[in-house]
Amino acid sequence: MQNWVKEIVVDSKFENVKTLTDFVESSLEPLNPSPKAIMQIGVAIDELFSNVVRYSGSSNMKLILNVNEDVLTAKLTFIDEGVAYDPLKKTDPDVSLPAEDREIGGLGIFLVKKIMDGVEYKRDGEKNVLTVVKKLG
């Protein structure tokens, strides 16, 4: 049973999305994940980290990558010390409406919920903890 964990902490600045993406991609590369899974993980990192930078007020964010090689699954946990916010409580946008008739915001987290195999949020003391799970096969 091969499980392993790696983590990285970055300042909450937009340019660090590449640092996070490179960290996760290089960590997962030896497992030969599907290109689609890697692309979807990249989208999730971009959306979730952008939200931390834009809205949380946290000066940095920790990303914990937890991999279970037996079932080829990656769990990414985003932790910040920003204002409490559970993005999963936001109602999914009505994507059947034309863009100009939709409420602003919410598309990113909606997309993440659609492309990941699991998404959960919890508030742990002063920290937001958002976890996404993706099968890599």
pLDDT in tens, 73-96: 999 999 999 999 998 888 887 778
pLDDT in tens, 112-130: 999 999 999 999 999 999 9
Q: Which whole-number Å values give the CA distances from 33 to 38, 78, 133, in the listed order?
A: 7, 21, 14
In this predicted structure, the answer to whether residue 6 has a pLDDT above a threshold of 70 is: yes
Residues 6-38: b if buried by 16+ CB within 10 A, e if exposed: eebebebeeebbeebbebbeeebeeeebeeebb
Is the pTM higher than 0.75? The answer reads yes
For range 48-63, the mean pLDDT:
96
In this predicted structure, the answer to whether residue 106 has a pLDDT above a threshold of 80 is: no
CATH fold of 3-135 reads Heat Shock Protein 90 (3.30.565)
- Judged on CB neighbours under 10 Å (0-12, 13-18, 19+), 62 is middle
Residue type, 117: D
What does the domain layout of the chain look like in residue ranges?
3-135
